[in-house]
Amino acid sequence: MQVGLKIWRYSAATGDRALREYEIDAPEEATLLDCLDIVKDRHDGTLAYRKSCRMMICGSCGMRMDGAAVLACKTRMYDIAHAGHVPVVSAMGNLPIVKDLVVDMDPFWEKFKSMKPWLQPGYDEPAEGKEYVVSQERMNVIHKEALCINCGCCVSECNAMESSPEFRGPQALAKGMRFVGDPRDGATVERLADYSDEHGIWECTRCYFCNERCPKGVDPRDAIAKLGAEAVKEGIDRDMGAKHAKWFVRSAETTGWLRETELVPKTQGVISSIKEMKFAMRLAVKGKVPLPFPPHVAERVDEARGLHKLVREQGKSGYDGIVQGEHSLARLDHGLEGEGPPAVELGLETKLADGSDR
Amino acid sequence: MDAKHDVLVVGAGCAGMRAAIAAHDAGADVAMISKLHPTRSHSGAAEGGINAALGNTGEDNPEIHAFDTVKGSDYLGDQDSIEIFTREAPGDIYQLEHWGAIFTRNEEGKLAQRPFGAAGSPRTVFAADITGHVLIQVLYEQVVKRDIKVYEEYFAWRLVENDGRCQGVISWDLMDGGLKVVGGKTVILATGGAGRLYRATTNAYACTGDGMALALRLGLPLKDMEFMQFHPTTMYPSGILITEGCRGEGGVLRNATGERFMVRYAPTAKDLASRDVVSRSEQTEIDEGRGVNGSVLLDLTHLGAEKILDRLPGSRELAMVYAGVDPIFEPIPVRPGAHYHMGGVETDSDGLTELTGLYAAGEVACVSVHGANRLGGNSLMETITFGRRAGTAAAEWALANTTVEVPDAVERDAERELKELLGRTSGERPWKIRDELGSSMLDNFGVFREEGKMARQIEIIAGLRERYPGVYVEDKGTVFNSDLTQAIELGYMLDLAATMLQAGIARKESRGAHSRPHDFPTRDDENFLKHSISRWVNGGPELSYKEVRMTRWEPEERKY
Amino acid sequence: MKQVAYYKGCLASLSAKELDTSTQALAPKVGLELIDLESVTCCGAGDIHEAEPDYYLHLNARILAYAEATGSDTLMTICNVCTLNLRQADFMLKGDDALRERVNANLAAVGVPPYSGAVEVKHFLWLVADGEGFELLKASAHKGLKGIKIAPFYGCQILRPSKLLGFEDPDKPWSLERIIEACGGEVVDYPAKIKCCGFPIIQAREDTALGELIQPIEQAIEGGADAIVTPCPLCHLSLDAWQSKLNAQRKREGLERLKPMPIFHLAQLIGVAAGLEDSELKFKRHIVSMKPVLAKLEV
């Protein structure tokens, strides 16, 4: 079949940047990676990209197609080619580009290493030099985090990292959860304290791009939420993000509705809130600062309080509260669910209003 | 020299990383050189599992594991090394688990073990069907913990021999460009196999036999080069692997009539017979017209969604993406594909090669624990056990010796060759030679071999080797010049192909993965119970033979 | 008229009251009869999901149970975050019998009717972008938008994760554009329309959030938009109320002030095209004045 590709060529050495178009003949089962191989072999040997396994396990071939990070070896080209669409292929985002589709992965690996990503055994010793005895169910807590192939697709699209390049990011934090949730690791509290720093758990903006882009189903955003839940459970909650989250809980079990006005001092502290006075007044004159008194109480809020008590007693606290839903949500991934969201319409409009490529 | 270390490991897959960890823990200053970032190494694509006689699932012990391995090797394996291997394997597995490897657990919370090909007892420890991935992750974590230096995306090009020892590696720095010389008191090759010699292979692009070719060109002997294992369940046309674990969990192979044909070929073990037996059975079914579009069918539909999603989710995704079938509802079309190279650089049980200071471990090496055919699950175990042994041995030697020197002449030589290769502005693009090599090897040196085809293949390879010096590299740049490294890889493969064919045509018997049903259909222990040894002499392969080391088991008829 | 259980969420109850009044006034015109829920609480946002996820599940199960009790088959939301939260809880409970049993037992213990998965959660946007709702929308938008330029801003949690939401392609959504055009406006397209406004971290990590927030606003200005429209009151709050903070930051960095960008709630945009009263639309509650764009509409 005929396949058209537009590839952003770039050289960090010279600074030259250009969008080149290629027309190739590829087999019907070809993936984007296969097409790049054909371009490099037969049309332009200078095209640079990483590849190895071509079966979605090594993580080498992360790149952007039409602005969204994908694994090139996972992306079948049949539908795209037959629709006559010419995708724009470019390097992953949030990482410096070295050449064409090759990015400098050093910042990625540095953040990974900053999580102390190795098992730190606790006091429990396995018997007679044999294995730790752990149930499969207990190990399933980190089932998804264990799938990560370090491809960088999540990092490429992370909105928080784009704004704050030092944010540790979805991959590193998911790796952190792999250890926090591993019963054999004895450094849980130290890890949570470390990961709760300025560029850790609470800097995640919850845009869910990482979940959406991950080609392996790791769901890094959920891993971050698990870390947050566990941190709060362990009382590691000094961060404003944690305080903010806890106030939602307090609101729900007292008045049912979010106690918006008190949210600011409860999150930022009284002194910082005073600094926000000017901002707050601007909102107040428009009626956007509801008086905390009398409290806006939901009907039958005692039910919400009662539920909180039961939930506390039943102890599905911390990351267990999120893990418990994974069995069910996995059915959506597997495509076996009878109900579930309607099929996604893959429209092919990729031009901006002014006619330029996305 | 740009740098020097006590131990230099070339290759950062399971064997390389395990060797580096062992060398570090023995007190040596160790570094790895790898043309890929470590976690990209092909070990990570291994799926089904890793063998050790833990005895968590029924009666098992290292002797039984050793016998299974010897029989599996069609009696070509060196039994002393095999005994060491199966004895030390359990300890190595527990070590990995203590480091945090995420293995699947049984009902008792211990390491689960699944049945695998030709195993007397279920002994394959696994992590769903992504065992290799889990091992790569845990080993890399331990590498990071020890802060072991990795020269990442350095393409190894020359081994340095000086003063009767191997003293370093010359590499092409892929990121910045230019040749880099790294000295090492000892060098460990852990560069994996050479599946890319075949058009249909489970192997990654990177598996081009680099270490074997480097050792060969230095004059070292390669052992049993004709033995390439064809994995029975690979998808068409990609060659992508569907794990033996599918059959371990109860999947069966069927032909076009729906018959479970393995019952005929291996009445006892059936679909879990030794890999060479299964591949031959499949090929026979296909050749005799009972295939479906050139494949047979791997049927998992009776396993149920629950089991497949629990134990084989990776395989399901692979089948859906690359074969367009959901194995819960439909069988997967599969056929044999080049998978694992039993042959390689000859070493002893400590990974030491003929050259002082040079070691090898993993698929690149031939100890030999796999002889003429490898059992599923033994390769991952080999990388760990022999990786550790080689790392420890290399570290011990390095710590007892002080000097490292790389003569200028070697450096200049490499630079000259590089300039020549980059200097060509016209000629043939490498892909043509690469494609012709891959197709012809599959046609003439595949599952079934015979004199006429092998003779023709020898001519074809000679022709390709004649064309190779005319190959030109289009990318003249220094930054990420994979055009250059891919051209060099092709050169490696051509030399290895020549050694494989010479050894293959000379072996006038059928043993393990070397099957000659038309001209030499049986095993000939009287004349060929010996290893093929290939050396590079005057620009071509030279063949000799070496005894098989037997301790306990005399060759018997091999039936499954 | 289609009966739908109406879940307005926290902001629309209080600081974003204008969204509630607009929605209630607009609903009958697009064929929706809003049934009030007997008693509900905050859905917990990403915060309770992250702090006490089991509680999050129960709170949302309770909301779904009360929605079911109205007899309607649809629970209508007017906030991105509520939509994701409720749909996620719904899927968690639907696919796991044991989990559903435990949650129902707890609900029963405090006197809440049972959850049985009988309602589907849909954002108001989805009900009017297609089908019957869309036809009625077209018919009702008689005053029209007179060709003013509107930049759609989706935000995050109405699109992602798409396996939980799935109404439209998360990378190429079309619903807001379709509505803008149907109401007589002109669409301003720009890349950041599906990116994050930063609201979840606007307090805990203000600088990071502002680095995100600037993008849709700047791009909308560059595209010549008269206003932005968004289906989420949380996005609305950051886009509208935090523009002043953006300008304060720019002042500190020695940059020019941004041209003020008025922000519509979705229901307001349709409402103004349908001729709703100012007392219903309540534009005066916005921080950034709506006057310039309303002037163009001769309102």
The minimum CA-CA distance between B19 and chain A, rounded to whole Å, is 18
Q: Do chains B and A touch (3 or more CB pairs under 8 A)?
A: yes
Does one domain contain both C232 and C265? yes
**Lowest mean pLDDT, pick from A95-99, A291-295, B114-118, B179-183:** A291-295
In terms of domains, do C99 and C149 share one? no
What's residue A337's pLDDT?
55
Interface touch C161/A204, C-beta < 8 Å: no
A184–B contact, CB cutoff 8 A: yes
Tell whether A319 is covered by a domain.
yes
- pLDDT higher than threshold 80 for residue A291: no
How many folded domains does chain A comprise? Answer: 3
Contacts of C57 (CB under 8 A, 6+ apart): A321, A324, A325, C89, C92, C93, C103
Domain assignment of residue A355, yes or no: no
CA distance C184 to chain A (A): 17
Residue C204 CB partners (closer than 8 Å, separation 6+):
A202, A203, A239, A240, A241, A244, A267
A181: closest CA of chain B, how far (Å): 12
The first and second tokens of residue B109, run together, are 């919370």
Q: Tell if the CB–CB gap between A303 and C195 is shorter than 8 Å.
A: no
Higher local confidence (pLDDT), A263 or C193: C193
**CA–CA distance, A98 with A75 (Å, rounded to integer):** 23
Pairwise CA distance, residues A22 & A73, whole Å: 18
What mean pLDDT value characterizes chain B? Answer: 96
| Residue A208: inside a domain | yes
- Look up the CATH number of the domain holding residue C47: 1.20.1050.140
CA distance A162 to chain C (A): 8
Q: What is the ipTM of this complex?
A: 0.95
pTM given for the model? 0.94
Q: Which chain B positions have a beta carbon within 8 Å of A131's beta carbon?
A: 93-94, 97-98, 103, 110-111
Of residues A64, A36, A54, A32, the one with CA closest to residue A213: A64
Distance, in angstroms, between B98 CA and closest chain A CA?
7
Nearest chain A Cα distance for residue B35, angstroms: 11
Task: Work out the pLDDT band at B227, boundaries 50, 70, 90.
Answer: very high
B45 touches chain A (CB under 8 A): yes
Q: Considering only CA atoms, which of B255, B218, B250 is closest in space to residue B114? A: B250
Mutate to test the interface with A, among B208, B317, B330, B339 (most CBs of A within 10 A): B317
Q: Which of B254, B275, B374, B449 is catalytic?
A: B275
Could you tell me the residue range of the domain that residue C232 belongs to?
Answer: 124-296
Backbone angles phi, psi at C215, to 5 degrees: -65, -55
pLDDT tier at A265, thresholds 50, 70, 90: confident
Burial B117-146 (b: 16+ CB within 10 A, else e): bbbbbbbbbbbbbbbbbbbbbbbbbbbbbe
Is C207 found in the same domain as C116? no
Given C123, C155, C171, the domain boundary residue is C123
Q: Are A45 and B483 within 8 A, CB to CB?
A: yes
Interface list for C 125-144 with A (CB within 8 A): none
The pLDDT score that the predictor gives to residue B439 is 97
Residues A146 and A241 in one domain: yes
Of all residues in chain A, the percent with pLDDT exceeding 90 is 68
Q: Do B40 and A58 touch (CB under 8 A)?
A: yes
Concatenating the DSSP letter of every residue in B488-503 gives HHHHHHHHHHHHHHHH
B178 touches chain A (CB under 8 A): no
Chain B partners within 8 Å of A13 (Cβ): 477-479
A164 and A288 in a single domain? The answer is no
Kindly determine whether residue C196 and residue A159, on different chains, have CB atoms separated by under 8 Å.
yes
- Are C108 and C183 in the same domain? no
Contacts of C112 in chain A (CB under 8 A): 303, 307
Q: Does A46 contact B100 at a Cβ distance shorter than 8 Å?
A: no
- Residue identified by tokens 């005799």 is B288
Which of A13, A105, A132 lies at the smallest CB-CB distance from B37?
A105
Contact criterion met (CB < 8 Å) for B473 and A147: no
Total domain count for chain C?
A: 2
- Record: contact A252-C44, CB cut-off 8 A: yes
Q: Kindly report the nearest CA distance between residue A355 and chain C, in angstroms.
A: 11
Over 50: is that where the pLDDT of A348 sits? no
The rounded mean pLDDT for chain A is 89
The mean pLDDT of B479-489, rounded to a whole number, is 96
For residue A337, the chain C residues in CB contact (below 8 A) are: 95
Q: Would the CB atoms of A131 and B474 count as touching at under 8 Å?
A: no
Judgement on whether residues A305 and A247 belong to the same structural domain of the protein: yes
Pairing state of beta strands B252-254 and A88-90? Answer: unpaired
When comparing pLDDT for A181 and A261, which is higher?
A181
A168, A199 Cβ separation under 8 angstroms: yes
pLDDT digits (tens, 9 = 90+) for B251-272: 999 999 999 999 999 999 999 9
Please tell me which residue, B214 or A293, carries the higher pLDDT value. B214
pLDDT in tens, A122-153: 877 787 889 999 999 999 999 999 999 999 99
Residues C72 and C218 in one domain: no
pLDDT of residue A182 exceeding 80: yes
Q: Do A45 and B45 touch (CB under 8 A)?
A: no
Is the pLDDT at B105 greater than 50? The verdict is yes
- The answer to whether the peptide bond before residue C161 is cis (omega within 30 degrees of 0) is yes
Sequence-separated (6 or more) residues with CB below 8 Å from residue B452: none
- The range of the structural domain enclosing residue A266 comes to 260-294
Q: Which domains does chain B have, with CATH numbers?
A: 3-227+342-407 (3.50.50.60), 232-336 (3.90.700.10), 409-527 (1.20.58.100)
At B304-340, the pLDDT tens digits run 998 999 889 999 999 999 999 999 999 999 999 999 9
| SS3 label, residue B32 | strand
User: Do A71 and A49 belong together in one domain?
Assistant: yes
Q: Which chains touch C (3 or more CB pairs under 8 A)?
A: A
Q: Which one of C13, C20, C36, C47 makes the best mutation probe of the A interface by having the most chain A beta carbons within 10 Å? A: C47
Average pLDDT score over residue span C235-262: 94
**Co-location of A63 and A200 in the same domain:** no
Is A87 a domain residue?
Answer: yes
A:C CB pairs within 8 Å: 294
- Residue B168 scores a pLDDT above 60: yes
Which C positions 65-94 lie with beta carbon below 8 A of chain A? 88, 91-94
Q: Is the pLDDT of residue B69 over 90?
A: yes
Which residue has better confidence, B19 or C10? Answer: B19
Domain boundary among C123, C157, C182: C123
- Any B CB within 8 A of A103 CB: no
Residues of C with Cβ-Cβ distance to A358 under 8 angstroms: 191
Residue of chain A with shortest Cα separation from B46 = A57
Q: Which positions in chain A touch B238 (Cβ < 8 Å)?
A: 29, 54-55
pLDDT at residue B541 above 80? Answer: yes
Whether C51 and A279 lie within 8 Å, measured CB to CB: no
Query: Do A330 and A220 belong to one domain?
Result: yes
| Shared domain check, C137 and C102 | no
CATH of the domain at A80: 3.10.20.30
Q: Looking at the domain assignment, is residue A348 inside a domain?
A: no
Q: How many percent of chain B have pLDDT more than 70?
A: 100
Closest by CA position to A25, among listed A54, A3, A50: A3
Query: Within a 10 A sphere around the Cβ of C259, how many other Cβ atoms?
Result: 11
Which residue among A225, A307, A324 places its CB closest to the CB of C62? A307
Residues A222 and A276 in one domain: no
Which residue in C44, C112, C287 is closest to A248 by CB distance? C44
| A225 and A325 belong to one structural domain | yes
Q: Pick from C61, C94, C123: which residue ends a domain? A: C123
Mark whether A110 and A43 lie in a shared domain: no
Residue B549 among the catalytic residues: no
CB contact residues (below 8 A), chain B span 269-308, against chain A: 305
Mean pLDDT, rounded, for B411-430: 92
- Buried-state track B191-230, b at ≥16 Cβ within 10 A, e below 16: bbbbbbbbbbbbbbbbbbbbbbbbbbebebbbbbbbbbbb
Mean pLDDT for B141-148 is 98
* Chain A contact for C39 (CB, 8 A cutoff): yes
pLDDT beyond 90 at B31: yes
A126 touches chain B (CB under 8 A): yes
CB contact under 8 A, C204 and A353: no
For residue A349, pLDDT over 70 is answered with: no
Q: Is residue C133 domain-shared with residue C110, that is, in the same domain? A: no
Check pLDDT > 50 for residue C7: yes
User: Residue B373: its pLDDT value, please?
Assistant: 96
The pLDDT score that the predictor gives to residue B118 is 87
Give me the pLDDT at residue A33, please: 98
Q: Which of B106, B205, B478 to mutate to test the interface with A (most CBs of A within 10 A)?
A: B205
Q: For residue A358, is it within any domain? A: no
Q: Look at A8-17, A138-147, A267-276, B78-87 and tell me which has the smallest mean pLDDT.
A: A267-276
C139 and C271 in a single domain? The answer is yes
CATH code of C281's domain: 3.40.50.11810
* Contact B168/A at CB under 8 A: no
Residues A23 and A114 in one domain: no
Q: Which residues pair with A256 in a beta bridge?
A: A297
Same domain assignment for residues A154 and A13:
no
Q: Which residues of A touch B241 (CB under 8 A)?
A: 55
A215 domain residue, yes or no: yes
Q: Please report the residues numbered 50 through 89 in chain A whose beta carbons come closer than 8 angstroms to any beta carbon of chain B.
A: 50-60, 74, 76
Nearest chain C Cα distance for residue A57, angstroms: 22
For residue C238, what pLDDT is reported?
96
According to DSSP, the residues that pair with B330 across neighbouring strands are none
Q: Does residue C116 sit in the same domain as residue C135? A: no
Q: Looking at the structure, tell me whether residues C279 and C246 fall in a common domain.
A: yes
Residue A347 forms part of a structural domain: no
Answer yes or no: do A172 and A321 share one domain: yes
What is the reported pLDDT for A350? 32
- For the stretch B191-216, pLDDT in tens is 999 999 999 999 999 999 999 999 99
The shortest C-alpha distance from A185 to chain C (Å) reads: 22
What's the confidence (pLDDT) of residue A347?
A: 29
- Residue A158, pLDDT above cutoff 70: yes
Residues C67 and C83 sit within 8 Å (Cβ to Cβ): no
The pLDDT value recorded for residue A336 is 63
CATH of the domain at A226: 1.10.1060.10
For testing the chain A interface, which of B43, B95, B102 should be mutated: the one with the most A CBs within 10 Å? Answer: B102
Summarize the confidence of residues B359-388 as an average pLDDT. 97
- The answer, yes or no, to whether residue B1 has pLDDT greater than 80, is yes
Residue C30 clears pLDDT 70, i.e. is over it: yes
Q: Is the pLDDT of residue A205 over 50?
A: yes
Same domain (yes/no): C108, C188: no
- Chain A neighbors of C237, CB-CB under 8 A: 288
Statement to judge: residues C105 and C131 lie in one domain:
no
Are C46 and C200 within 8 A, CB to CB? yes
